[in-house]
A and B are shown apart, each in its own frame.
Chain A
Amino acid sequence: MTPQQYEESLRKLKLEVYMFGKRVENVVDDPIIRPSMNAVAKTYEMAQRPEYEDIMTVKSHITGKRINRFTHIHQNVDDLVKKSKMGRLMGRATGCCFQRCVGMDALNALSIVTYDIDKAKGTEYNQRFLKYLAFVQEHDLVCDGAMTDPKGNRALAPHQQADPDLFLHVVEERKEGIVVRGAKAHQTGAVNSHEIIVMPTIAMRAEDKDYAVSFALPSEAKGIVYIMGRQSCDTRKLEAGQLDRGNPFFGGHEALVVFENVFVPWERVFMYKEYEFAGSLVENFASYHRQSYACKVGVGDVLIGASQTAAEYNGAERASHVKDKIIEMNHLNETLYCGCISCASEGHKEPSGTYVVDKLLANVHKQNVTRFPYEIARLAQDIAGGLMVTMPAEEDFKSPTTGKWLDKYYAGNCDVPTLNRMRILRLIENLTLGTAAVGYLTESMHGAGSPQAQRIMISRLANMAEKKKAAKKLSGIDE
């Protein structure tokens, strides 16, 4: 699909979207949402260009046709490595969350778990899933990966919640399918998606079996409602100028997706009350998604580039501490890159044939992602100076009354137009505390699971017995 065809395909969707208390009639052209659509469209545009096709496209293992990698099931370690590279590439091209990786991770996790359920239970989920996958690949669709439930009281299991809808669950079984109710929170790229793939949010026990459900639906299915989340500085996109937006081209979005008694036909159901497999689906999805935070390396590239440029525009680029801060930013960013490449390089084949990342390394990578972008952002703000948060509006620069003073007093290196200095500072603001900080910082913290979720996995997966054995052997302990 071309970016234009993608945009046209979204125009045909009849989504029920709300923002600022009102129904959004034209989602595609809404100025707040539009930059996020541009970012997804970029995944189509890059796939069309020969200089990116090696990373952005791949041969489908089910049809043999060339497809967008965002719809691919990883067939070898090289696919996993290219997925990490694609994340960095796209992050650098957009400077934001490009939203399409969540669906790719959901598809890959389901390719593993539907197979495993079938083997254990004699069901036919994998066949259904492969049919669905062929449909997604054929039409080059964007899928929202919907895992996170609102969760209510975090100390209680789904069936113990005061309101049973706080985790999405089955409310009715019919001959043709099931009816579900609940919601999914923080859904990245929800209204830019053709499809929504729902998965349970935590491992479950028998009492929670009504909550152990996974399925896919068209995003416009009856009963699905989208309530857009706000992002810091979002209404700057309603202003006439471009400068104050920081990144006038691209952005991300998240939404609360409500499922109000939504019908799902059986051919779209991939898990139905097999609660023993909910944990495996969560773990596989989370591992893939923790790898996906390769995108933060690409966004980090943009922030480091912006910081170096700001230093040059300020005339401070030769100061030894500035050089050292840039080195530190690169060190942290490339350390993140090491994590997403290594968990891919150490990937392995599952019984379904799908390749999955090394889960310990993917969790270590994501744990680093919960920290390093914050430090990179701190250093960027240090180098940028205070003007990134005290700068007047674009209109003041254009005003015949105030413009001359702003141009004069906010000049840095005299070879550089003052407005260019302002542009780069606004980009740093955008990435570290504006709309893009949602993706670069808070999503780095909580997306794909809060830091503690990775620490639990690290404690489970680190082979402590082998480590103790090595230590005892070298210290002469003979047990």
Chain B
Amino acid sequence: MSNTPVAVIVGLKYCGGCKPDYDRVALVEEIRRRLGDEAIWVRADDPTAELILAVHGCLTACADLESCQAKPIVAVTGPEAAEAFVCHVQTLKR
């Protein structure tokens, strides 16, 4: 039996970014960096996605998640949510 941790496949979905309160792409880069090979990143509509990260620019939180409804969705609306998401993925892996 291998001890290699299995990476979580994260489907990434951004809102349209009309007036974001923070740099959404930089936040995702930071999360990706933190998770390293603990996560595999795909588009939100990729059928292999196990979990959706919805990155909203503000509290309006209007990303269109219609195509992802069958999957667990974690929504972030600001940089402070990054830590919680990283912990969540790490918990899932165990």
A and B are interacting partners:
yes
Q: Is the CB of A89 within 8 A of B16?
A: yes
Residue of B nearest to A89 (CB): B18
Measured between beta carbons, the chain B residues less than 8 angstroms from A86 are: 16, 18
Note all chain B residues with C-beta closer than 8 A to A85: 16, 18-19
**Partner-contacting stretch, out of A53-61, A111-119, A164-172, A415-423:** A53-61
A53 vs B67: C-alpha distance when bound (angstroms): 14
B-contact 0/1 string along A79-97, CB 8 Å cutoff: 0001001101100000000
Among B12, B16, B55, find the residue whose CB has the most chain A CB atoms closer than 10 A: B16
A52 proximal to B (CB < 8 A): yes
1/0 per residue B1-29: CB within 8 Å of A? 00000000000101111110000110000
Question: When chains A and B are docked, how far (Å) is the Cα of A86 from the Cα of B17?
Answer: 9
B63 to A54, Cβ gap below 8 A?
A: yes
Complex formed: what's the CA distance from A54 to B62 in Å? 9
Contacts of A55 in B (CB 8 A): 15-18
Let me know if B32 is at the binding interface, CB within 8 A.
no
Q: How far is the CA of A88 from the CA of B17 in the complex (A)?
A: 10
CB distance from A52 to the nearest CB of B (A): 5
A50 interface residue (CB < 8 Å to B): yes
Asked if A51 is an interface residue, CB under 8 A from chain B, the answer is: yes
**Chain B residues closer than 8 Å to A56, beta-carbon distance:** 16
Q: Say yes or no: A51 contacts B19, CB within 8 Å.
A: no
Give B62's nearest chain A residue, CB to CB: A54
Q: Does B83 contact A (CB under 8 A)?
A: no
A54, B43: Cβ atoms under 8 Å?
no
Chain B residues positioned under 8 Å from A89 (CB to CB):
16-19
Choice from B12, B17, B19, B64 contacting A52 with Cβ under 8 Å: B17
Bound together, the chains give a CA A88 to CA B18 distance in angstroms of 7
B contacts with A, residue count (CB < 8 A): 14
Closest Cβ of chain A to B22, distance in Å, is: 12
Q: Are B12 and A54 in contact (CB under 8 A)?
A: no
Let me know if B14 and A82 touch, CB within 8 A: no
The docked-state distance in angstroms from the alpha carbon of A354 to that of B4 is 54
Q: Are B24 and A51 in contact (CB under 8 A)?
A: yes
Interfacial chain B residues near A82, Cβ < 8 Å? 16
**B12 and A53 contacting across the interface, CB-CB below 8 Å:** no
Closest residue of chain B to A334, judged by CB? B19
- The CA of A180 and the CA of B64, in the complex, are separated in Å by 45
A82 to B19, CA, bound (A): 12
Taking the closest CB of chain B, its distance from the CB of A255, in whole angstroms, is 30
CA distance A86 to B14 in the complex (A): 15
CA distance A89 to B19 in the complex (A): 7
A437 to chain B, nearest CB (A): 23
User: Which residues of B in the span 64-91 have a Cβ within 8 Å of any Cβ on A?
Assistant: 64
- What 0/1 readout, one digit per residue, does chain B (28-56) give for beta carbons within 8 Å of chain A? 00000000000000010000000000010
On chain A, the residues within 8 Å of B24 by CB distance are 51
User: In the bound complex, what is the Cα–Cα distance between A220 and B17 (angstroms)?
Assistant: 36
Nearest chain A CB to B55 CB, angstrom units: 8
Q: Is the CB of A88 within 8 A of B14?
A: no
B12/A50 in contact, CB under 8 A: yes
Q: Complex Cα distance A50/B55, Å?
A: 11
CA distance A27 to B64 in the complex (A): 39
Contacts of B64 in A (CB 8 A): 54
Are A54 and B19 in touch, CB under 8 angstroms? no
- Does A53 contact B14, Cβ atoms closer than 8 Å? yes
CB-CB < 8 A to B15: which residues of A? 54-55
Q: Is there contact, CB below 8 Å, between A51 and B18? A: no
Q: Which chain A residues lie closer than 8 Å to B14 at the CB level?
A: 50-54
Which residues on the A side are within 8 Å of B12 (C-beta)? 50
- B17 to chain A: which residues have CB within 8 Å? 51-52, 54-55, 89
* A52 in contact with B16 (CB, 8 Å): yes
A88 touches B16 (CB 8 A): no
Nearest-CB distance from A174 to chain B (Å)? 46
User: Considering the complex, which residues of chain A in the window 41-89 have a beta carbon less than 8 Å from any beta carbon of chain B?
Assistant: 50-56, 82, 85-86, 88-89
CA distance A238 to B93 in the complex (A): 59
**Cα of A479 to Cα of B63 in the assembled complex, Å:** 52
- Whether the Cβ atoms of A51 and B63 lie closer than 8 Å is no
The 3 closest A-B pairs by CB, nearest first: A55-B16, A85-B18, A54-B16
| Contacts A/B (CB < 8 Å), 28 sampled | A50-B12, A50-B14, A50-B43, A51-B14, A51-B17, A51-B24, A51-B25, A52-B16, A53-B14, A53-B16, A54-B14, A54-B15, A54-B16, A54-B17, A54-B62, A54-B64, A55-B16, A55-B17, A55-B18, A56-B16, A85-B16, A85-B18, A85-B19, A86-B16, A86-B18, A88-B18, A89-B17, A89-B19
Q: 13 additional contacts, CB 8 Å, given A53-B16, A54-B64?
A: A50-B43, A51-B17, A52-B14, A52-B17, A54-B17, A54-B62, A54-B63, A55-B17, A85-B18, A88-B19, A89-B17, A89-B18, A301-B19
